Structure 1
Amino acid sequence: MTDRSVRRYLTPVCATAISAGIVLSGSPASAATTTTGFNAWCQAVSVLTVNQAAQHIFTVDAPAQVNPGETFRYRIQPAPAAYPNKQSIATTTNVSRLKMDYQLPDNATFVGAEVVPDTGVNLTGTPANVLRVNENGDPDPDGTILRLSGDNEVIGNSPKANKASVGGILVPKTQKNLDGTPTADLSTWFRLPAIDVTLTAGASGDITPKLRTGGTAANIGDEGNYNTFLALAFALNANQWAPTRCIPKDTQDDAAPVNRGGGPLATIAIGEHTGNVTNTALTAPTKAKAGDTVTLSASITPATSGGNVAFVVDSIQVGEAPVVDGTATFDYKFAQWGDHKVTARYIGDGAHRPSLSDESTVTVDGGTFGSVELPPLGSLQLPSGS
């Protein structure tokens, strides 16, 4: 597993860079897949306190619509991840006490949640489970938070918290990929397991799975941040512990609001969709240069001035734009060369039903690196005899 668009590093002690995400492994019947990418700020505290930006990606598989009183489930899973062999003066030993906190949705009654077997990779320590906890992190049958962890052995916000001992879900250092092959850079890959959440739909409204970002959990470095873990490394002739916490924000300013990572990761409508049937047509360039801004445009018919369009690149939602007079536009920069699949999804506005565009392919090459113009892919020549 070496796709840099989803890989994350858990960097201990002297710096941190974590990119948590979700990929689906298996799915409920008749499910729709929603993938949301967003920026996050992660804080590691050890010899130094370091804040660093990261890209997080979450995918939820859930039915798009359920009937009032219907019992259903959705599935969510953190993406493959990796931590480095060494960062600056610190040599990584392991990562443990991992957790993911999810907010229970409104407009539904909780039935149960469980870890999906055989969806975790390279995990030891305390077996992963799902607990219903309250704001203090205590197991509570009336709690509003679902916690994926190793029996609540985490770094904080728990009666079993500890910042200076290995515990909970442990990722041993293997220096291997997910498939067991050695990594070229000596990093260690792993994957947290998927969880299935079972709910009974209420009478009306939308059910929106979210990350935990309520209350103080919306503050950078808070023990209630949805994604936390404990890195252990050897530096300065001693073991160094680096408890790390991540929150969906575009800046490290606590006054800044959470970004779309704090919003719905999926929307499950209760009852049949009502309103006019719509059609979404995407306009995108067939070619682009890496690093250049291009405009993606979606036309909604019949024309409306309500609701948003989500623009999706390679199955990842990269942004949203409002519909005005039947049109929504979004500026985007392709960072990587190659062919990219782009779609536009109209979310609807109550009077108009959602719709999805056909897929377009944008071929990206060339671009700039600093002040140097890079050639198109087709113009690259290999030396004779290569």
Structure 2
Amino acid sequence: MPRIPSAVLATTVALTTSVLLIPGASAAEHTDTVNLPLTCQAAPKGYDSQDFTTGEDGVTVTVTTPDDVRVGDEFTATIEIKPVDIRAKLSKVYGFQPKLTETSRIKMDLAIPEGLSYVGGELDEKDANLKGFEFIRVNESGDADPEGRILRLVGADGATIGNGPNSSGDRSGGVSHAVRNDRINMRFPVLKITLRADEVGPAALGVRTADTAGEYAQDTNFLTMLAKVDAPFVGTVWAPTRCTPRVERSAALAPQATAITTVNVTAAVPAAETSLTFDTTEVEAGTATPVTVRLSSADAAGTVTFSGAGAEDTVDVVSGTATGTLTLPTVGDHEVTAVFTPENSRSHTASRATTSISAVGRNPGMTATVPSSARANTPITVTASLDPDATGTVTFAIAGASVDAPVTDGRATASIPVPEATGIQTLTADFVPTPGSLFTTASARGSVTVTDASFTLLSLSGPEDTVRPGESATITVTLQPVEDTTSAEGTVTLTADGISTTRTVVDNSATFEFTPDRAGTFPVEAAFTPSDDTQTPATATMTVKVTDITAPALSVEAPETVHPFRETPFTVSVTPSTTGSLEATVEGRRTTVSVENGTATVPLTFTRTGTAPVTLTFTPSDPAAAAPVTDTIGVTVTDPAYASATLEVTAPETVDADTPLPLTVEVTPDTGTSADVTGTLTFTIDGDPVVDAAGAPVTMPVTRGRSAVNLSFTHGGEHTVGITFTGADDVHATATHTVTVTGGTQNPGAGSSGVALSQGSSADGAGDTGIFAALLSLLTPLWTWLKGLFSFLPGGSS
């Protein structure tokens, strides 16, 4: 009776052995490399059982574990399972093609070593195509048991071929792998197993071999699975498979199976005492301010939680120092506490410290505006400018006279009389903040020239802030008539930037407009000419400051490599920092993003290699704060550097005539990822090239390593589709796909005639991780053995 189904399983079992325990560690580590032999029996119902082995070479397993752990410590073993990618097309038997279509009910048992306790496990399935595994702790009967010493990796339903509550030898279940197009491509999840050291001594990590698990062909064997084979004549054949770690059936268990690696557990030592010292004694009230503490042990790892005045912040310890951020809401002294929580309580103790930190008020940045001159015994208007958030009172004083003015929206204004004495007098402005304010006290000074009442007095007022070029500035001239007169009649001539303008005085004042055409400091002079002898001539000067709108600079942080058809983020900085919008133009395409705090991230995509110009245009939110700016940068776009590639073709094996055959081609480079690959595909049908009406080869684009194509056949029969990829630096790769076309006219040997080819629906371009050469090399002797086996079967051909 044929034994094809069990022979097929040899390939699957050899591949699955890469699931063996490969722990990682958190302390000092060591790496061991061992060869683990594997001998298995496939027992399809109604067929002869078949034994097969990897021989003495076995499967190479590299294990990384901590050198030492202490009693009570927890450590994590990370199991990284290398992807497996291999063709599994079998030889024909009696002219028919057997196919391995699925492997399911995959189960692997690990032994929890004496002296260690299982804490927990997690799986990272991000890059896996074998999904749905779970960790289950079981006893020798395969039943879930929280005290069991066996850690089982199995599907969520617990499906096995035996030694479990959900067992079957003729029904799919659990985690399965579908074999398509004679290709086995297994990618296992990354496993992380956390263990706790309970006893001093060596703890050996290995697979399950105790009791019947160490005997040959038992359901308790550490590695079991169920293969589904479409066999000639009989249809589906189910083949339960059981594997043990030995060179051959009659050999003893390989000693390395129970001790793939060993972790040395040492006695616990007292934790080192720690203490905290504050480096920060003073902060600014109402502002998020850093607070720093130092640990007495520079090698202590963990976190520090700062708390005070209702605020709290937890940060990591870095090189013996922790810096948190606290906002102390009011001026005054505040009690602040820091609590250290060690990462490993067995190596360092927790500690706590409390101190008093002084929160000082913010400087309100006060300035005083005082008339440059005033007449004796007359009132003047004075103004104090402060931070817009400041509240409180400003006391103005001059020559013994004082007046209090409240601060509103950052300003305080008051009228105060000047003294009788002429000459230069000093005016003081003292700010006292509202109780509980975040601001500190402040003072400002100003000078006023007091003149005799027998003279006409002229004063100038203009813009308080700077003026922009082209912006009109209003300047007002105010006249104070001679004592015992009420009106100063005459003209005022204002000279600014060398240009003089004369106005008639109306109601003791005159108004002028000055529009500077450039940035700079402009002296302004006003001269009064009285119309009669009741008044005297008077002059005054002031300065107008004109500043250009800031034209910010743009700087770009670009990735090291930029490839065609791949969206790439660019970081653009605007200096000085401001807000607005950024428009990037590439090959006529515009992308607009917001600029916040002087930074924006803009995604750009390029369609060809070479140096591509990118135009960046920044538009500020506030036109008065900054000017728009445009800059152009050159971005170097290169094809990914890879020397060779492989093709994977996915398509149905049968299709009706005149019905599109969806064919997907994935290109995997020898370096980098599929997302880096661009190029073209050309096709042959039964060896004849597919050409257009002009006789030129028909090409289809490859973008991000993928291309989707639709083929329609007019002629029935079996056809071989040849695909050739051409990429950067003339890299070529080929693949074929055989399809049986049903219906249509039979036209053997017709080649590419009667074939229609069109672009299929786009794929996402995400490529897989490719073929791992080392593992493939390991399996080559086994594959050669399989081919040799088939050549000896009745009706077999190689």
Change beyond 3 A, Cα 1:248–1:25? closer
Rg larger in 1 or in 2?
2
User: Alpha carbon RMSD of aligned pairs, Å?
Assistant: 2.4
Q: What corresponds to 1:210 in structure 2?
A: 206
Q: What corresponds to 1:165 in structure 2?
A: 171
Q: 1:242 aligns with which of 216, 229, 239?
A: 239
Equivalences for residues 135-150 of structure 1 within 5 A: 135-150=140-155
Q: SS where residue 38 of structure 2 aligns?
A: strand
Higher relative contact order (CA 8 A, sep 6+): 1
Q: SS where residue 169 of structure 1 aligns?
A: coil
Kindly indicate whether the alpha-carbon contact (under 8 Å) linking 1:113 and 1:195 is maintained by their aligned counterparts in 2. Answer: yes
What letter corresponds to residue 244 of structure 2 in structure 1?
I
Q: What corresponds to 1:104 in structure 2?
A: 112
Q: SS where residue 261 of structure 2 aligns?
A: coil
Change beyond 3 A, Cα 1:170–1:114? same
Q: What corresponds to 2:190 in structure 1?
A: 194
Kindly indicate whether the alpha-carbon contact (under 8 Å) linking 1:94 and 1:170 is maintained by their aligned counterparts in 2. Answer: yes
Q: What corresponds to 1:70 in structure 2?
A: 73
Q: What corresponds to 1:13 in structure 2?
A: 6
Percent identity of paired positions between Structure 1 and Structure 2: 29
Distance 1:24 1:212 in 2: 11
Kindly indicate whether the alpha-carbon contact (under 8 Å) linking 2:22 and 2:61 is maintained by their aligned counterparts in 1. Answer: no
Kindly indicate whether the alpha-carbon contact (under 8 Å) linking 1:33 and 1:62 is maintained by their aligned counterparts in 2. Answer: yes
Distance 1:160 1:57 in 2: 32
Q: Is 1:86 aligned to 2:79, yes or no?
A: no
Distance 2:200 2:160 in 1: 36
Q: SS where residue 13 of structure 1 aligns?
A: helix
Distance 1:209 1:202 in 2: 15
Q: What corresponds to 2:559 in structure 1?
A: none
Q: What corresponds to 1:42 in structure 2?
A: 40
Q: SS where residue 217 of structure 1 aligns?
A: helix
Unpaired runs of at least 5, structure 1: 1-10, 176-185, 273-386
Equivalences for residues 291-370 of structure 1 within 5 A: none
Deviation at 1:215, TM superposition (A): 0.5
Deviation at 1:44, TM superposition (A): 0.3
Kindly indicate whether the alpha-carbon contact (under 8 Å) linking 2:22 and 2:77 is maintained by their aligned counterparts in 1. Answer: no
Kindly indicate whether the alpha-carbon contact (under 8 Å) linking 2:106 and 2:174 is maintained by their aligned counterparts in 1. Answer: yes
Q: Is 1:266 aligned to 2:261, yes or no?
A: yes
1:337-361 Cα offsets, whole Å, 9 max, x none, are: xxxxxxxxxxxxxxxxxxxxxxxxx
Change beyond 3 A, Cα 1:252–1:15? farther
Length, aligned pairs only: 247
What letter corresponds to residue 123 of structure 1 in structure 2?
L
Change beyond 3 A, Cα 1:26–1:271? closer
Q: What corresponds to 2:320 in structure 1?
A: none
Q: SS where residue 102 of structure 1 aligns?
A: strand
Distance 1:140 1:25 in 2: 24
1:83-127 Cα offsets, whole Å, 9 max, x none, are: 72336643111111111110001112221122234253x225xx1
Distance 1:41 1:68 in 2: 37
Q: Is 1:115 aligned to 2:123, yes or no?
A: yes
What letter corresponds to residue 206 of structure 2 in structure 1?
K
Kindly indicate whether the alpha-carbon contact (under 8 Å) linking 2:8 and 2:100 is maintained by their aligned counterparts in 1. Answer: no
What letter corresponds to residue 112 of structure 1 in structure 2?
G
Distance 2:160 2:91 in 1: 23
Change beyond 3 A, Cα 1:83–1:132? farther
Deviation at 1:205, TM superposition (A): 0.2
What letter corresponds to residue 252 of structure 2 in structure 1?
P
Kindly indicate whether the alpha-carbon contact (under 8 Å) linking 1:58 and 1:78 is maintained by their aligned counterparts in 2. Answer: no
Q: SS where residue 160 of structure 2 aligns?
A: coil
Q: What corresponds to 1:375 in structure 2?
A: none
Change beyond 3 A, Cα 1:229–1:145? same
- Return structure 1 stretches of 4+ with deviation > 6 angstroms: 23-26
Distance 2:168 2:177 in 1: 17
Kindly indicate whether the alpha-carbon contact (under 8 Å) linking 1:76 and 1:195 is maintained by their aligned counterparts in 2. Answer: yes
Deviation at 1:75, TM superposition (A): 1.8
Kindly indicate whether the alpha-carbon contact (under 8 Å) linking 1:134 and 1:145 is maintained by their aligned counterparts in 2. Answer: yes
Deviation at 1:154, TM superposition (A): 1.2
Deviation at 1:200, TM superposition (A): 1.4
Kindly indicate whether the alpha-carbon contact (under 8 Å) linking 1:23 and 1:77 is maintained by their aligned counterparts in 2. Answer: no
* TM-score, with structure 1 as normaliser: 0.59
Q: SS where residue 174 of structure 1 aligns?
A: coil
Distance 2:163 2:103 in 1: 18
* TM-score, with structure 2 as normaliser: 0.29
1:193-228 Cα offsets, whole Å, 9 max, x none, are: 232221111241012111001100111110011111
Q: Higher strand proportion, which one?
A: 2
Kindly indicate whether the alpha-carbon contact (under 8 Å) linking 1:13 and 1:232 is maintained by their aligned counterparts in 2. Answer: no
Distance 2:62 2:263 in 1: 14
Distance 1:221 1:25 in 2: 25
Distance 2:213 2:21 in 1: 25
